[in-house]
Structure 1
């Protein structure tokens, strides 16, 4: 039980630390990194919505617009960057009759959002460690909950040496056997001395409760 208590209080202390940190600091805006997927739309061009994954160099590739650096930008900064870059390009659109039409893009026509967030990885003594889906404003505590919460079984499996819980159970079991033999001997001595009762006081240092001692005796 002492081991379980340590796990509980360690988790509680961690949660309290997260709460204190969250209260002390303002929320930090999400910034684009490799693995994120952005969606770029142009209202003035029908069916012109494109998705692009942020590459390792922090850029995205958009047909007709080329490589655009977006790494490290917040969602608001991404919108501003697209409003500044896309209107500088001339876009050609083919009409139903086969003719081509040049489209002038206005900043107000551009939309830019994060379509999919790069995954996060939760490791350690959780039920299902590994890759997890990130959600906006997700906290560490929420990420642990998504991973199934703290797992006592995994913690036991990863620890070196005997399990403290098992040691405690074996310790109390040995004491139970000793007390049973102790009272058996006291009962025999009382019978040999023609005494109707014998001393029910348990041996000094017994870790067992009075109720358990009475059951064993």
Structure 2
């Protein structure tokens, strides 16, 4: 079963690698989804940089601005959305002398970027399966490498029976011994019958023919 799993996993990785190669030829912009973390900055307000996680409904919560839908947006669209939404709000800032000041936000003051990407999960016969940090343009091969690469020991430890690779090797080794003895016997019979030659065809069913 583990041997089959490795084959299926390798096939899946190959398909994904082809998909990623095709995507490299025609890049598709990353789109925000639940689990991504965005960072919103306002240049006109000192120390006003906020991080927010995209919720399951595709929105982010920003103090004084409320819930803002961003799910499915590309980084460029996120910037445009924030430039459109934030300037419609009046922000109050308390000055060092205790007075309160109203700040008018201009679109050019707003910055919006993806601070952290939602994690990916690598499973199968890798050294450290589980959650891994995603990076832009990461390939399947790179994701497997981050997870420690393929682990033969883990594969063998997780299987319920003998390793099919070992069984196949033992099977062919036994057949090799049998064929050697088979031809040795055929040669002796030919000598006893004063025959110059004997049948060199391997026995029926041999996997080594």
What is the deviation of 1:68? Answer: 0.6
Distance 1:186-1:92 versus aligned 2 partners, 3 A rule: same
Unaligned residue ranges in structure 2 (runs of 5+): none
Give the drift of 1:8.
Answer: 11
User: Under a length normalisation based on structure 2, what TM-score does the superposition of the two structures give?
Assistant: 0.74
Q: Deviations over 1:173-195 (max 9, x none)?
A: 43566588789999999999999
- The offset of 1:15, in angstroms, is 6.5
Q: Is the 8 A contact 1:2 1:165 kept in 2?
A: no
Distance 2:61 2:9 in 1: 49
The list of structure 1 runs, each at least 4 consecutive aligned residues, that deviate by more than 6 angstroms after superposition, is 1-6, 179-209
Contact 1:70 1:78 (8 Å CA) reproduced: yes
For residues 9 and 31 of structure 1, do their structure 2 counterparts lie closer, same or farther at Cα, with a shift above 3 Å needed?
closer
- State the shift of 1:12 in Å: 10
Query: Residue 39 of structure 2 contacts residue 112 of structure 2 at CA under 8 Å; is this kept in 1?
Result: yes
TM-score by length of 1: 0.72
Superposed displacement of residue 167, structure 1: 1.8
Would you say the 8 A contact 1:30–1:74 is kept in 2? Answer: yes
Contiguous gaps of at least 5 residues in structure 1? 210-217
Q: How far has the Cα of 1:59 moved from its partner?
A: 0.8
Q: Which moved more, 1:180-189 or 1:123-132?
A: 180-189
- Which of structures 1 and 2 has the bigger CA Rg? 1
- Deviation string 1:15-52 (CA, Å, 9 cap, x unpaired) is 79517852685111111111111110000000000111
Q: Secondary structure at the match of 1:23?
A: helix
Is contact 2:6–2:125 with CA below 8 Å preserved after alignment?
no
Which range is displaced more, 108-117 or 190-199? 190-199
State the distance in 2 between where 1:16 and 1:34 align. 22
Higher deviation after alignment, 147-156 or 43-52: 147-156
121-130 or 110-119, which moves further after superposition?
121-130
Measured in 1, the distance between the counterparts of 2:9 and 2:44 equals 58
**Deviation string, structure 1 residues 136-155 (Cα, Å, up to 9, x no partner):** 12122322222223334444
Q: Distance in 2 between matches of 1:78 and 1:103?
A: 22
SS state at 2:97 partner: coil
Deviations 1:183-211 (A, max 9, x none): 999999999999999999999998899xx
